[in-house]
Structure formats: structure tokens, C-alpha cells
Amino acid sequence: MAAELTPKQSAILDFIHGYVSENGSAPSLREIGRHFDLSVGTVQDQVEALRRKGALDRQPVQARGIRLPSSAGQIPILGRVFAGTLHAAMEDVEGHLAIEKSRNTSELFGLRVRGDSMEGAGIFDGDHVIVRRQPDANEGDIVVARIEDESTVKRLRYKGGRPLLCPENSHYQPIEGPFEIIGVVVELRRRFN
């Protein structure tokens, strides 16, 4: 499973993608270092971390040995979604998650979870959820929904034909509509360090 990228790693990866698009080849470690005002040793560490996370391939004996893997894609982390009481959702890109290109990444985005209302479903504060954009969902799906200008992650249930956003923590109450489904959670990412 590909791991979450740090903001610095995301920035370096974005620079490499842009450089390859413009020049047809990867930048050298020195060029990356100059762009970010980093030492070559620091760039080597970051590139190695990107390689370990599956975001890059590297051929260490070549001066421009950085390669973008054909199987790796990126989806944006659009901000935070709250699993708890409702809060305003942030829509600024705060990084990227590596994902297999075989998936339709145009429909996917990541969100960082804040709050504890979905602990019963195994979704904890600080986790990332990968969401597939879609305007509807089946009963029992874990969804990201918008109520006015606020977003939350909850399980979709129906009671008497009415949709409810249900937490998986007894300290929270279900939320009644109207609300708009933004998408369905299709994957969970968690860092252990």
C-alpha cells in the first residue's frame, strides 16, 4: 500500500512531475536542492523516502536516475472532514496521496479526518479517507456529506424513508437532512509513526 506523503515530499514530487513535463527528463538532485534551497544530502533523503513510498523509482548510479513509476498516481488531500460535530470543511490542497494509476483518480480525493464520531467503524482522528465523488450512496455506505457550508463523514442510514447521517460513537446523535452527499469513502489510510 502506498504511504501518505509529507507536504515537503508532495512539493518535491510536484516539482519533479513539472520538470519532467517541461524537459522530458528528471531533474538532478542538485537542481531539486537549488529549487527548494536544500542540501543534496537532504534531497537524497527525500527522494529515497518517495521511492520507499512508491511515488518514485530511482536508479542510483545515474546522475538523473529519478523515474516516475508508471503505476503510481496522485490524488489531492483537499483538507479536513469532521467525524464529530459539524465544522466548516477546508478545501485547500494540503498534500497528495499516492495511489495506483489503474484506479480512476479523476473521481478520487483525500480528506484528513478530525474527530471521533466514526471510531466504531475504525476511522480515527488523523486518518485519511479516500473518497470517490458521487452524488448518491447506498444505505450503509460511509459517506462525506455537506450540510450548508459544512462537511462531515458518517454512515448513511434510512429511517421511515428519510436519510440520516449516523455516527459510530454513542456520544453523538444522527444528523437529519437535508444534506448533499459529496462522495463515498472507498479507502482508509493510517500512519503508524
Q: How far apart are CA 142 and CA 165, in angstroms?
A: 9
CA distance 63 to 166: 54
All three cell numbers of 45: 533523503
From the list 10, 53, 117, 151, the catalytic residue is 117
154 is catalytic: yes
Beta-carbon count within 10 A of 122 CB: 10
Q: Residue 80: count other Cβ atoms within 10 Å of its Cβ.
A: 19
DSSP label at residue 24: S
Instruction: Give the closest residue to 97 by CA, choosing from 87, 83, 109.
Output: 109
- The residue annotated as part of the active site, out of 25, 154, 159, 170, is 154
Residues 6 or more apart whose Cβ sits within 8 Å of residue 34: none
Active-site residue flag, 117? yes
- For the annotated catalytic residues, the residue numbers are 117, 154
